[in-house]
Structure 1
Amino acid sequence: MGGFKNETINSAFDIGIINVIIAHLTKCSKQMKVDCIATDNLLKNNEDAITNRLIAVYLNTEPGIFRYEPQSPEHYDRETDHYIGRTDIKVISGDYFRDEKAYYIIECKRIDGSITLNQNYITKGVERFFSPNPHPKYSSYYLQNIMFGYVVRAIDITENADKIDKLQGSLLKGATASQFTLMQNENSQYYVYACVYVAPDIGQIELNHLFFDFADVICEK
């Protein structure tokens, strides 16, 4: 897996690009929670609403080596003149302008402990990196990407992550998955797991699963 050409980005690469992105996601998510409570401007229980506020108000507000782009089309199909996929968040750097394939993807999904959303997390989230139609909806240029689980109910995140881990064995199409490996956590506010996937036509890809607790700032109206 190659690094970025930009020296500043290569410095970040030395400590792990994915870790840098996850650190920024968690920092911004924590600040968003603080601001939600301080202003009484709670988040709607809606994936796009959470993602839009996170990107527009937090992820891109400070100068950095990455730009976070919302709702980016993926995989143009010449036969139908349609894009096969649409990413939730595309993470780009200066190298993107040299090679348009050089970016990371963050796929976002709500999590509330229910079997329905756990299944959706896999079949409408994880699978987009693998299932052919005729090829995956999402690309994996660096063979690493991120699944971001918005936890919108007060649940035991580790227990639910274990349920998703087990569900992958029976539900996941297009790849086989290793077991979740806990990489980091901060009290009970967020957990990060790594999982390696092997797909026949793609090879080995790693997804980092970030589950962040937004339950306290979700508005049910």
Structure 2
Amino acid sequence: MGGFGNESNNIAFENGLFNLIIVHLCQCSREMRDTCKATGNGLYNHEDKITNRLVANHLNFNDLKLKFILQSPEMFIADEDNYRGRCDIKVVSSNWFNNENDYYLVECKRIDGGSYLNRQFVSEGIARFVVSPPKYPSYHKRNIMFGYVVQAINIPENTAKIDQLQGELLIGVISGNILLVNNESAEFYQYSCLYQSGTIDSIELDYLFYDFSCVIQYNT
């Protein structure tokens, strides 16, 4: 998130950093799932508790000079003394101390293949970045939606269902096609989608879906 004098170098740096964040999210998710299997300490079927463990035990143990901050208040409204939104994870580098707008956001949602959580992924996740007035900023014109897959499902089929919901739930926003970027066997998928409106201009959201279904505990 640092700056170079040459604009093309800045773009290349930001692209590399954004991809590095995604790789780190995937690696830490695999590490957390494997630890759950090895110890028998499964994950609660609860979005915030999954996020808390991922950040506390995995994401912030890195050599990337990045900090993953939980429950970040966003978009201060001065005449209300309130924040418009509160994002699950803010990702900052040392450059954040020079420019407090220079960061990425990760909004986390559970996915089980059902209609309710799919609608939540769109209306209480994607919409926070793209529907006017946005609850979350997009300083670099790209951010991340992270779907915790808590039941064994066909992720590509479910992503197609999410795609169909966008036109219904994202009022005043033009959404592009959801494109597959990467997948690791059947446990991890990365997609990308562009959004446009008069308020946000154009931003990209990358969707990450990681399959935690084998380590979710349902009896507590």
TM-score range for the pair, normalised by the shorter chain length: over 0.9
The alignment-based identity, stated in percent, is 47
CA–CA separation in structure 1 for the residues paired with 2:169 and 2:67 = 33
Please state how far the C-alpha of 1:6 moved relative to its aligned partner. 7.5
Please report the TM-score for the alignment, with normalisation by the length of structure 1. Answer: 0.93
Structure 1 position 14, deviation (Å): 6.6
What displacement does 1:152 show? 0.2
> Aligned partners of 2:16 and 2:64: how far apart in 1?
16
Cross-structure match for 2:122: 122
RMSD (Å), alpha carbons: 1.8
Distance 2:45 2:156 in 1: 21
- Alignment partner of 2:151 out of 150, 153, 157: 153
Pairing 1:87-98 to 2, within 5 Å after superposition: 87-98=87-98
Q: What does 1:20-59 correspond to in 2, within 5 Å? A: 20-59=20-59
Partner residue, 1:85: 85
Asked if 2 retains the 8 angstrom alpha-carbon contact of 1:169 and 1:177, the reply is yes
Task: Tell me the matched-pair count.
Answer: 216
Write the distance in 2 (CA, Å) between the matches of 1:14 and 1:91: 13
Give the superposition deviation at 1:16. 2.5
- Following superposition, the deviation at residue 10 of structure 1 comes to 6.3
Q: What CA deviation, in whole Å up to 9, does each residue of 1:118-151 have, x standing for no partner?
A: 000000000001222xx31100000010000000
- The residue that corresponds to 1:19 in the other structure is 19
In structure 1, C-alpha distance between the alignment counterparts of 2:60 and 2:42, rounded to whole Å: 20
Q: Give the Cα–Cα distance (whole angstroms) in 2 for the partners of residues 14 and 126 of structure 1.
A: 21
Runs of 5+ unmatched residues, structure 1: none
1:15 positional shift: 5.5
- Who is 2:188 aligned against? 190
Say if 1:58 and 1:11 are closer, same or farther in 2 by CA, change over 3 A.
farther
- 1:173 aligned to 2:165? no
**Structure 2 SS opposite 1:118:** helix
State the match for 2:217 in structure 1.
219
- After TM superposition, the runs of 4+ consecutive aligned structure 1 residues lying more than 6 A away are 9-12
CA distance in 2 between counterparts of 1:186 and 1:102 reads 30
1:52-110 Cα distance to aligned partner (Å, 9 max, x none): 00000000012323110000101111111111110100010111111111100000000
How many Å apart are 1:167 and its aligned residue?
Answer: 1.1
- Partners of 1:50 and 1:58 lie apart in 2 by 11
Corresponding residue for 2:204?
A: 206
Q: 1:20, CA displacement in angstroms?
A: 0.8
**For residues 3 and 205 of structure 2, what CA distance do their matches in structure 1 show?**
23
